[in-house]
Amino acid sequence: MSHTHLTIGQISYLNVLPLFQTLKRHFPPSSGIRYMPGHPSEMNSALEHGEIDLSPASAFEYLANAERYRLLPGLSITAPSGPVKSVLLVSPVALEELPRWMAENGNDIHVTRASASSVALLKTLWSFHWKLPTANWVPITPGTGLDCKRPFLEIGNFALQNWLNPPAGWHIIDLAEQWRAFTGLPFVFAVWIVRNGLSDAQRELLADVHTALLHCKAACHESIGEISEMKDICGWISREGIEDYLSTLDYDLGPREEASLVLFGDYCRRLGLIPGVPGLRWAL
Ligand SMILES: C=C(O[C@@H]1C=C(C(=O)O)C=C[C@H]1O)C(=O)O
């Protein structure tokens, strides 16, 4: 009887729900695998503190603290083409109006505390692509962006809700689309991060989980029916909406995605957000 356990962080967004629904068929919560839900910043912090062993987590967390981690090969949360629909700058004016608007209303730009990658992506696009005036980045509680009449970054289900029901009078700028226009590459929001220091037995279980995840990423669309009936989901998005959303996301991590991740790292370095761009080191 094995006592080996792995605790897997589960980002509590629709973007990874099909993968986790499918994974839980292979590894139900009682089978040595525990699942811990939370938003991406909570996953980043739980990885850092060893409260979870692996998780899809912010690509920026890996770039910033790679010495603590290894990556699971072949897995990410990426927007391969077109809008991602769930990582948005929501603004009272269009991008080209922002310099005038900031001169009149101040430089505070609100950013959700749930994110690490998308905040760094916004800073990158802001400086290098849009070349906007220096902003004062103000972290805010997820889901509260519309409360102040200021531009804000939102991610995950809250952002997708804004995309599905655009608030009247606001402009919606999709950051994956902007990164693609800027670099020609698909933006990698999340990678699967494994903390250093797993036991040999945990590493064996990790290899089984990884094999299952590679299978799940190909098969996970089968779970859309059951997801569309879940209590937390069915109130705000239809089955067709889920299918449409998931068709714009990709769980692969191949050469193009890796190149995009490293390029993003270099912009983060140029902004002084990280000291240098780490290599991609693999857990398996
Ligand atoms: C595509 C998304 O990417 C998310 C954005 C993240 C970040 O900004 O740090 C981390 C994980 C992803 O779940 C989304 O929020 O929907």
Separation in Å, CA 240 to CA 8, 21, 164, 249: 29, 18, 12, 15
The ipTM (two decimal places) reads 0.98
Domain 6-78+187-270 and domain 87-183, same fold? Reply is yes
3-state secondary structure of 273: coil
From the CB of 190, is ligand 1 less than 6 Å away? yes
Provide the 10 A C-beta neighbour count for residue 132. Answer: 17
Tell me if the domain spanning 6-78+187-270 has CATH number 3.40.309.10. Answer: no
Identify the pLDDT of residue 2: 56
Residues, the chain: 284
Give me the numbers of helices (H) and strands (E) for the chain, helices first please.
12, 10
For range 225-233, the mean pLDDT? 95
From the CB of 55, is ligand 1 less than 6 Å away? no
For range 95-114, the mean pLDDT? 98
Q: What are the pLDDT digits (tens) for 48-83? A: 999 999 999 999 999 999 999 999 999 999 999 989
- Tell which phi-psi region holds residue 170, choosing left (phi > 0), alpha (psi between -120 and 50) or beta: beta
Looking at residue 95, the DSSP 8-state letter turns out to be: G
Burial label for 161, CB within 10 Å (0-12, 13-18, 19+), is middle
* Domains of the chain, residue spans: 6-78+187-270, 87-183
Q: Whose CA is nearest to atom 14 of ligand 1?
A: 156
The pTM assigned to this predicted structure is 0.98
Top-level class of domain 87-183: alpha beta
Identify the pLDDT of residue 189: 98
From the CB of 117, is ligand 1 less than 6 Å away? yes
Separation in Å, CA 95 to CA 43, 119, 172, 173: 31, 17, 10, 8
Residue of 15, 112, 121 to test ligand 1 pocket, by largest number of atoms within 8 Å of CB: 15
Q: Is the Cα dihedral 49, 50, 51, 53 positive or negative?
A: positive
Q: Residue 31 above 80 pLDDT?
A: no
Using pLDDT thresholds of 50, 70 and 90, give the confidence band for residue 1: very low
Q: Residue 241 above 60 pLDDT?
A: yes
